[in-house]
Amino acid sequence: MTLWRIGAAALLPVTQDEAYYLDWAHHLAWGYFDHPPGVAAFGLGTLIAAGEPLAARLGALLASTLTLVVLARFYFNCGLVRRDDLGLALVLAFGSVVGLAGGILITPDAPLALAWALTLHESERALAGQRRRWLTAGLAAGLGLLGKYHMTMIGPILLWAIIRTDLRALRTPWPYLGGGLAVLLFSPNLLWNFHHDWMTLRFQFGHGFALDTGTLIADGASAAAAAIQRWSPGSLGERALNLGEYLGIQLGLWGLLAAPLLALPFLWVRHRLARTAGTGPVIADHARPLLLAATLFPIGFFALVSLGSAVMANWPAMYLLAAPALLAPGLRGLRRWVIGGAALNLLLVSLLVVQAATAVLPLPDSANRVLRETHGFRALAGIAKGLDIPVYADRYQLIAQLRFYAPELKTGQWPGLARQSEYLVGQIAPRVTPQTQAGPFWIVTERQSPPELSGFRNTLQGTFFDCAGAPLAESTVPPCAAPLHEWHFYRYE
């Protein structure tokens, strides 16, 4: 599994969001506009070799390997002592689309997954009777909070597990001390947010619940009314459609593993009888509430969120770490189907990696999302680096790719053209201030007409087309039927 990840990480050019997070590694801080600092620490490998994907992803590769090791021990402690059950659970954890892609990409989900697995492992040991392990569970949860705020969902999960399994533990200091350690580890980011107008927390809260957090602070009453209107019961059909779309996407994250999973209900009666006879799946009694809560709570929480707001596919993905322990024993009779589904997922993702690296496969444009995320940016950075005046861009993803492949390029985000990002904060790159911009400059964008910039006029422009399997070409007409990108350079004075 790890060898495949190393190969894929070396072949796959960095994606746009990866380049953004890797840029943070050059300027470590306790917080950033979009996320807490964990992903920046995991991206320190980019300092070893600038512009090289494998070096940049060393943190993710190490974390994903450690995550599998921790999960193996966690599953064993939960009752999967049979080698075939344990192996099947690891295949489920690794072989989903999230398990394959998440194991190589530098995103906030990499530190979250490792911390989530560690917290589950230590919590299971605490529930098994080693109550002092709530301290290490708290440490792991605190580290997870520094990786991604979704780690907060572990709190209700652990509380439910304690109530169901070891209620008397609440009369001891260990769970509370563990919670205190989590908050203590997380406190540097809280202090950073306090000194930066709660920037990251406001962004994430607004992004997750589709709220205008600026309005929420400026006019709480009107923002609350708007939120109530958004979340009030509407068309039942619309709500059902949103929920169905959300559940369909979550099923899709399993890829071709979904086929044996959908067969599970037909095997339920047989496995219940087998368990009664003492030969069926056995999950340790103390671990079952923890596994169930860690599987169902993330899915259920974001199912509710989906009724009033768009939910990104990876937000509830933490459940994919606990679910394999519950699913593997029930899938004993479909072992070949599970391994086959994981192998086909591996093949499909491998083909996408090869396509992103070489663009040799004749895939339709709709299947080339990964290629569009990664192709042509090295050449674009080379063009930008050769210009003798400052180069800015409108979108943070484009700036990040330019800076990844040309770290010496002092580019930044021109304000007011796209959504806010860390580049407009001025922490990882010089903040662009139009009022003090004296000389001429370029703006690179995918807009087909030059943006209107107050106080400046467009004097020159050039267009570059990025076609699959071809070098970046400057032209006034597309040199191929379906360009991956159409980039425009606009000169302003």
139 and 84 co-located in one domain = yes
pLDDT tier for residue 268 given thresholds of 50, 70 and 90: low
Q: Considering its fold, how many domains does the chain have in total?
A: 2
320 and 452 co-located in one domain = no
334 and 387 co-located in one domain = no
Which H/E stretch holds residue 488?
strand 485-492
Evaluate whether residue 369 is within a structural domain.
no
- pLDDT value at residue 491: 96
383 and 281 co-located in one domain = no
User: At residue 205, does pLDDT exceed 60?
Assistant: yes
Average pLDDT over residues 12-40: 95
Evaluate whether residue 231 is within a structural domain.
yes
Average pLDDT over residues 321-326: 96
User: At residue 315, does pLDDT exceed 70?
Assistant: yes
Taking only the tens place, the pLDDT of each residue in 210-245 is 555 444 444 444 544 555 455 455 567 788 888 889
Last residue of a domain, one of 317, 351, 385: 351
201 and 255 co-located in one domain = yes
Phi first, then psi: what are they for 441, rounded to 5°? -155, 165
Between CA 67 and CA 101 the distance in angstroms is 14
- pLDDT value at residue 208: 62
CB atoms under 10 Å from CB of 309, counted, come to 17
Q: What is the mean pLDDT of the chain?
A: 90
The residue among 151, 137, 168, 167 whose CA lies nearest residue 70 is 137
256 and 324 co-located in one domain = yes
Evaluate whether residue 365 is within a structural domain.
no
179 and 264 co-located in one domain = yes
pTM (2 d.p.): 0.91
pLDDT tier for residue 427 given thresholds of 50, 70 and 90: confident
Domain interval for residue 229: 2-351
Taking only the tens place, the pLDDT of each residue in 130-148 is 999 999 999 999 999 999 9
Evaluate whether residue 390 is within a structural domain.
yes
Evaluate whether residue 336 is within a structural domain.
yes
Residues 57, 49 contacting (CB under 8 angstroms): no
181 and 237 co-located in one domain = yes
Average pLDDT over residues 406-430: 90
User: At residue 458, does pLDDT exceed 90?
Assistant: yes
166 and 92 co-located in one domain = yes
Phi first, then psi: what are they for 434, rounded to 5°? -55, -30
Last residue of a domain, one of 304, 336, 351: 351
148 and 243 co-located in one domain = yes
- pLDDT value at residue 217: 46
Evaluate whether residue 435 is within a structural domain.
yes
Average pLDDT over residues 83-112: 94
- For the ranges 149-153, 212-216, 329-333, 468-472, the lowest mean pLDDT is seen at 212-216
Sheet containing 473-474: which strands, arranged edge to edge?
391-393, 441-445, 485-492, 458-466, 473-474
320 and 420 co-located in one domain = no
DSSP-based three-state secondary structure for 465: strand
Between CA 59 and CA 98 the distance in angstroms is 17
User: At residue 6, does pLDDT exceed 70?
Assistant: yes
DSSP-based three-state secondary structure for 265: helix
Evaluate whether residue 270 is within a structural domain.
yes
Last residue of a domain, one of 351, 367, 383: 351
Above pLDDT 90, what percent of the chain? 73
DSSP secondary-structure letter at 413? Answer: B
Which H/E stretch holds residue 349?
helix 335-358
340 and 399 co-located in one domain = no
Evaluate whether residue 239 is within a structural domain.
yes
pLDDT tier for residue 206 given thresholds of 50, 70 and 90: confident
Above pLDDT 70, what percent of the chain? 91
pLDDT tier for residue 429 given thresholds of 50, 70 and 90: confident
Tokens of 165: 């399994």
Between CA 446 and CA 486 the distance in angstroms is 6
